Amino acid sequence: MSRKIPVPEKQELIDLYSREGATISSLSRHYKTTNPVVRKWLMNYGIERKSHKQASTEANNRHRKKIKPTKEHLEILYQDSTIDSLEEYFGVGQQTIYEWLDEHQIPIRTLSESTKLGKERQFHNIQFDREFLDEEYDRSESIEVLARKLNVSRTHIRAQLLKNGIKIEPIEPSWRSKAEIELFEYLASEFPDDSWLVCDRTIIKPYELDIVNTDKKIAIEYCGLYWHSEISSGKKQNYHKDKMIMCKEAGYRLVTIFESDDMSKVKALLLKLLGKTNKIGARKTQIKTLSSNDAMTFHEEHHLHSAVGARFHYGLLYNEQVVMVASFGKNRFSSKYEYECTRITSHSNCTVVGGVSKLIKHFIKTQSPKSIITFSDLRFGDGKVYEKCGFDFVEFTAPNYWYSKKYSSELFSRIKFQKHKLPDILEIFDPSKTEFENMVDNDWDRIWDCGNAKFIWEQ
């Protein structure tokens, strides 16, 4: 059960919010709630919210005299940083950084120059002198934070510290897997000017988010199977779904990744969500009926869950290349609805704007279905695109589970392990025990997803 936050008195809220430097975020921390809740209180009381400029000015006034850097210090930092990272480093607004650069007559880089520099840093051996590195590491508290400040990789900073004989304190999260770190460094290199957080416990406290892009409000949960399964780590049915809901309430979209997922497909999805994609208008594409083999091959290559059987397959072609495929078949789970949209998959390297609508309309026009049902995996998205295509949202289904052998990184559908099948699969089987109890006896564990969003279309 969620904890109900007492609503403060109007005058108390006015007094706190009127203080110089007070922001919605500081109020949310004070009341131990979220930013959307504080905004709702202000709106209900008719309290006018501060403009972004006013809040930024107040914050700058609090810090300006204390932390104004010398020209030499600012030049060193700006040489290997972006404006955004300088804002985070000094705790001031963008306008203050520009004023300091102008006052010290330090040339300001263009956005394209900053982007180019950020990418180049990932591949060149940037060196820092020992005195500067020692001081900054001491202020940063961790390699992760220092790497983000200087806009280089975590691995490079670690190597620089060791090279300069600086002792690395064991205060960094030691539980982060190599795959999680590599995913973060990949995303940070693709979006060097964005603000990133790792192992954050402030957005949905006390829970942790592995990787966060604060600019685009995207959070990523990387789930090693051992550390996120029910027996090995105690993660019950609603664990991942609850984190997804809390992120949504905090204004973030959560992408939940399992260790077993195809990382090339995951990276392609994240690049699209973060805004790096080739956009193609659906009007520029042509519809073509595809063979089952061609459609399945496309789904296998580009869909996070690969392919499933279906009867009808349609593709969108752009410059004679298939860029999106939709497959439809009889409903696999119930006779209540005539058809199911089993897969809609876009090419990993592009986004077809309006493509989903074009394919669904074509199916309805050519096959005249009475009803269609479809599902959206909440680990990756909420399926809102279906509502734009005339579907009605029905419900969020309960989370589903998947099995993995102890210490394995491969997942298997629960359908394969239904209880009546277990005597032929397991070495140890007790008919008096449940499916899950028998699986545990044979060193299997299960991990829960976030459930699905269910949508229907009817004539």
Contact 435, 418 (CB under 8 A): yes
The whole-angstrom distance between residue 366's C-alpha and the CA centroid of its chain comes to: 37
Partners of 448 in the beta sheet? Answer: 401
What's the CATH number for 280-369?
A: 3.40.630.30
The band of 110, judged by pLDDT with boundaries at 50, 70 and 90, is: low
Domain spanning 178-273: CATH superfamily: VSR Endonuclease (3.40.960.10)
Domain boundaries, the chain: 10-50, 178-273, 280-369
pLDDT reading at 82 higher than 80: no
pLDDT reading at 416 higher than 90: yes
426 burial class (0-12, 13-18, 19+ CB within 10 angstroms)? middle
SS3 for 336?
coil
Which tokens belong to 124? 């060149």
Neighbouring C-beta atoms of residue 146, cutoff 10 Å? 22
- How far the first Cα of the chain sits from its last, in Å, is 39
Of residues 196, 203, 215, 198, the one with CA closest to residue 249: 203
Please name the amino acid found at residue 115: T
φ, ψ at 103 (rounded to 5°): -60, -40
Cα gap 279→269, rounded to integer Å: 14
pLDDT reading at 172 higher than 50: no
Which tokens belong to 24? 């919605």
Of residues 406, 458, 408, 403, the one with CA closest to residue 435: 403
Contact 226, 260 (CB under 8 A): no
Cis ω for the linkage preceding 107 (within 30 of 0): no
Q: Looking at residues 384-392, what average pLDDT do you find?
A: 94
Cβ partners under 8 Å of residue 120, min gap 6: none
Cα gap 127→120, rounded to integer Å: 14
Q: Which range has the worst mean pLDDT, 101-115, 183-197, 326-340? A: 101-115
Partners of 317 in the beta sheet? Answer: 286, 322
pLDDT per residue as tens digits for the range 233-253: 889 999 999 999 999 999 999
Cβ partners under 8 Å of residue 304, min gap 6: 261, 262, 265, 266, 269, 377, 380
Please name the amino acid found at residue 175: W
Please name the amino acid found at residue 209: L
Structure confidence at residue 52 (pLDDT): 58
The full length of the chain comes to 459
Q: Which residue has the tokens 């990387």?
A: 222
Contact 219, 247 (CB under 8 A): yes
Q: Which residue has the tokens 């501060």?
A: 50
Structure confidence at residue 123 (pLDDT): 40
Q: Looking at residues 133-151, what average pLDDT do you find?
A: 72
pLDDT per residue as tens digits for the range 303-362: 999 998 899 999 999 999 999 999 999 988 788 899 999 999 999 999 999 999 999 999
Cα gap 441→428, rounded to integer Å: 7
Cα gap 47→24, rounded to integer Å: 12
Which tokens belong to 422? 């277990």
